A and B are shown apart, each in its own frame.
Chain A
Amino acid sequence: MLRLVLRGLATRKLRSALTAIAILLGVTMISGTFVLTDQIDRAFVQIFEQGNAQIDVVVKDRPPFEDQQTEVYLDADVVDRVRDVEGVALAEPFLQVQGYLVANGEQLVSQGGAPNFVFSSLPQAMNPYTPVAGRLPEASGEVAVAKEIAEQGGLEVGQAAQLATQAGARDVTVVGILQFGDGTTSLGGSTSVIAPLADVQAWWSLDGKASYIYAKAADGVSEDELAGRVRTALDDPGLIVQTAAEDSAEQASELNALIGRLIRFALLGFAGVAVLVGAFIIFNTFSITVAQRTREFAMLRTIGASRRQILGTVVGEAFVIALAATLVGLVCGLGFAWGLNRVFELVGFGLPATGLRMPWQTVVVCLVVGIGVTVLAAIGPALRATRIAPVSALRDGAAPPRGRLARLTPVIAVLIGVLGGAALAAGLTQDIATEQRLATLAAGAIAIFIAVAILSRYIVRPVVHAAAPPITAVAGGVGRIAAENTGRNPARTAVTAAALMIGIGLVVFVTIFVGGLRESFTGAIDDSLESELIVTAQGFGSPLPAEVLPAVRAVEGVAVASPVGGTPAQIGPGTFALIGVDPADIDQVYSFDWEQGDDALIAQLGADGAVVEANVASDLGVGVGDSIDVVSITGATATFEVRGLYADEQFLNGVTITQEALGPLLQSNATGINTLFVKEAEGADSAAVQAAVEAALEPFPTAQVQSNAEIKEQIESGVNQLLVIFYALLALSVIISLFGIVNTLVLSIFERTREIGMLRAVGTTRRQLRRMIRWESVITSIIGGVLGVLIGILFGWVTAQGLEAEGIVFILPVGTLLLFLALSIVAGVVAAILPARRAAKLDVLEALQYE
């Protein structure tokens, strides 16, 4: 039987190859994803291990609740108590903040959102950085920089530069150029500057604070032992004492949860789509080949092959193709990961790199998925093959019998569709964990795709009949034949089109969804803001220096500059933003969308009043008149009375109190000003005011000034970047579905060889034949495109309904949708190239005599 399988594959090379590609591309994506995320994982681990290589014990603050976005600090003088512990050879406070160098007029910042670190200097014995030129900073005003920044900015030892700090720009001198660890680890685009502890404390309003206390053990004392001793000596539940190994593992896994998991989740999602599309194609290919081989199977049955052996041949063929494709796909995955690295680099988001490796788990997953999906997709057609009666060998044009369930197919399909719809609805509305939600949504979407794929066979004939006259008008007589050919085997056309439908559907969905997301941002700017300029701090979540406020207020042409700031706080069981506004003038720059209450409330908030965003209030289960207890990240507590409710998912999405009430809840380095909303004076020249504000903020390089239009542009370009990534990843699925069209066409041309010979004999030119095939392809791709657009709109609409509370709106980008339809036509034309060429190349006589 195996010989038969291999022989069969060899004689159907093109078919086998096209099927293999469908599997191969999906597997490539899966394997590439794992290779890439494995690389990121290992890089993070390596970064933190190298960072902690010189130390043994880490002491850090234990915040009252977990909030990964917020850095917390402990008192630096804890170090004195650590130093007293027996077995501690060396102990130092360490501080890490965000900031960057400005040299030769250039801001030496990371590209693509990686952090810009400033670290306090540690003695060399504990420092992961070692100078490759110069030395570590000692005196105030000295800094050393990582060699990557030195290269970026052309820095040399002895050079004067400025350090952008929270207190504004500070003059510094570069005294050293450093390498991290052994110098081989890429830090993923982040930048690092090292300055003396006292400078960092002073310039970031963190006097007496440290991020960590690092300790090094004396000879003969183990990490674990030392950690135990320090823990006992400190005896403080507000502090965490860990070994360096525990700390680096924890940090790596936190960062990985933030970045690696996100990338893996997203990429695997797209890989799943590719595999799904591949499954459709495999199913179709095997259905067609089984139909074409009816006589062969019947003949095998007459000479005594059992049903099981027939099943074995078909499934065996699937297995061999899948195995080969998966193995190649695994290898291609390395290339895919390499390519993704380059892409991330190109968009300025260099991933931390340590070299690519193929973890064995990847091999297992890919083999299971690749072979599993293929064999599963082939099993239906294989079962059909087993039902072929031996007598079919004697009949020409015999087809495998329809399955017993064939009559029930539409009912089953509708059922699957309904279940899918229910899953979508549940996924959108039920209160479940994100992963569960995504899984439910994915299952729902897949079910709907399958249902539509099955049901669409019933629309193929009507569509083809409706399309025949216009196509005939354009393409002449062969257009008519093309239309008829497409309608000849509706199930086949439907599944082929469905493969494309999935890709196009998701492209449309993503477009609509991301468009809604963008609209929710930009719409909020139009709806909520009365101000024209926004001042924010560069660096994720960093506060603006307090001096920024008077500086901006003093600018001529500025009518109002109103500060907004916040801190994460634990309220009830969850973490929410506690937002401080200036009651004197917030209403001039921001318009509250009141559900309960009015602007007059703001002036009367006082020290214990709060107005709450409506969704937050419903999450908290509070209404006007209720009181809420908050615990800030510093552990400070306060109680507020809810006075009003408003809607806003963008700017003030949390519990809003006065700046005054917020102050005591902030960390020492927080100024309470994360954003300044700036309103121009009546009749002022906007550009001039913006320029004046920028000039006034020159001493504070971290402060950036943007007009509302600029912010919208920034959102727009961010959204477009996101879309490009989504499109690129979905393109793979569309490409796979093109192979599906190619495959179906090639197989059907093969089936119709004699017919094609006849057409040529009676005067069909090669050109006309190519045109005919092209139209068959285009009709299929249009069906796929239209179904895809419709299903994409449906998904987009459903999602928008489900996420209405999140501010997601539903907009139909008609122009873009038409573009996608046009693209699906192009796809059809492209897919037809090879099959059309093959058909046209057929020798008339040989085709006529083809058995």
Chain B
Amino acid sequence: MSTTEATPAPPARGTGDVVAATDLTKVYGEGESEVRALDGVTISFPHGQLAAVMGPSGSGKSTLMHILAGLDQPTSGSVIVDGTELAGLNDQKLTLLRREKIGFVFQFFNLLPMLTARENIELPMRIAGASPDPAWQDTLIDAIGLGDRLSHRPSELSGGQQQRVAVARALLSQPAVVFGDEPTGNLDSRTGAEVLQLLRRAVDEFGQTVIMVTHDASAASIADRVVFLRDGKVVRDSGRMSASEILDTIKTLE
């Protein structure tokens, strides 16, 4: 991929659905103690979108995300990520799929404590034995605005800085989709906003696709699309919403 210095190239991806799930159910336990964490979820996410998944605690947000990301298997239903059907993939194939097509930002413990910020960013690519595109890497590093702290270890970085490093790490391999499970859940609102801004830029400027779970209405308000879950079902799927609209919706759901 050739790039000029100033303009980062959006990755060359199709415009169809990056992630498509059909009739997903996930049942935990049996009989009396049976929990339907997901109950017939059909949803797809097109390329180049920032989507927020919301819902009360226990509504199945994490479960959905884990299944979409190939970290967990549904009880029934199918998931297609960037053209690949996940059902029937063995652990090895799933791992390689995650490695190549999926980026992750978790709420906690994204980074290896003994590696520097830069090394953490490069980690998945190093594991894959690939070398990152230097221009893209520079762009990302520029975007997270860590400056001279790149050679610091996570313990020497603030929570917001750590999460921005995690975002850069998720983006470095230019995955088909980045999943975030409450990526700002552990941050105060200002540092949280910086991280969200970074995700927003990833979509707008770098043409990435991001799906994040969040509890926070203002976080969800920057998303192109807000999906509400309740009791394992999609109860509302809307385009961009303002924070107050989102809060209202949440109230009606509870």
**Which residues from chain A sit less than 8 Å from chain B, CB to CB?**
476-478, 480-481, 484-485, 487-488, 754-755, 758-768, 844-845, 848
Contact = CB atoms under 8 A, between A and B. Distances in A.
B241 interface: no
B66 A768 contact: no
A762 B124 contact: yes
B95 interface: yes
Nearest to A477: B126
A751 to B, nearest CB: 11
Contacts of B128: 477, 763
A564 to B, nearest CB: 69
Interface in B71-90: 71-72
Interface in B58-115: 66, 69, 71-72, 91-92, 95-96, 98-100, 103-104, 106, 108-110, 112-115
B109 A755 contact: yes
Given A476-B126, A477-B127, A484-B114, A764 B95 contact: yes
B9 interface: no
Given A761-B104, A763-B96, A765-B91, 15 more contacts: A477-B125, A754-B108, A754-B109, A759-B127, A761-B71, A761-B106, A762-B98, A762-B99, A762-B104, A762-B127, A763-B98, A763-B99, A764-B99, A766-B95, A768-B127
25 contacts: A476-B126, A480-B126, A481-B127, A484-B112, A484-B114, A754-B108, A755-B112, A758-B104, A758-B112, A759-B112, A759-B127, A760-B95, A761-B69, A761-B106, A762-B123, A763-B95, A763-B96, A763-B100, A763-B124, A764-B99, A764-B127, A765-B91, A765-B92, A765-B95, A768-B127
Nearest to A486: B114
Given A761-B98, A763-B100, A768-B127, A844 B112 contact: no
Contacts of B113: 488
B31 interface: no
Contacts of A487: 114
B177 to A, nearest CB: 13
Contact of B92 (A754, A766, A848): A766
A45 to B, nearest CB: 63
A844 B71 contact: yes
Contacts of B99: 762-764
A408 B149 CA distance: 33
Contacts of A755: 109, 112
A484 B115 contact: yes
A637 B98 CA distance: 95
Nearest to A478: B127
Contact of A845 (B72, B115, B127): B72
Contacts of A477: 123, 125-129
Interface in B115-142: 115, 119, 123-129
B220 to A, nearest CB: 23
Interface of B: 66, 69, 71-72, 91-92, 95-96, 98-100, 103-104, 106, 108-110, 112-115, 119, 123-129, 169
Contacts of B108: 754
Nearest to B173: A763
Contacts of B69: 761
Find the residue from A476, A477, A480 having the highest chain B CB count within 10 A: A477
Given A763-B99, A766-B92, A476 B71 contact: no
Nearest to A759: B127
A761 to B, nearest CB: 5
B173 to A, nearest CB: 8
B130 to A, nearest CB: 9
B106 A848 contact: yes
B66 A845 contact: yes
A698 B115 CA distance: 79
Contact of A488 (B109, B114, B124): B114
B5 to A, nearest CB: 28
Contacts of B103: 762
A766 B98 CA distance: 13
Contacts of A848: 71, 106
Contact of B114 (A478, A485, A754, A765): A485
Contacts of A754: 108-109
A767 B99 CA distance: 14
Contacts of B66: 845
Contacts of A761: 69, 71, 98, 104, 106
Contacts of A762: 98-99, 103-104, 123-124, 127, 169
Nearest to A850: B109
Contacts of B109: 754-755, 758
A845 B98 CA distance: 13
Find the residue from B72, B95, B169 having the highest chain A CB count within 10 A: B95
A563 B104 CA distance: 89
A761 B127 CA distance: 12
Find the residue from A754, A758, A762, A768 having the highest chain B CB count within 10 A: A762
B47 to A, nearest CB: 21
Contact of B112 (A481, A766, A768): A481
A758 B98 CA distance: 12
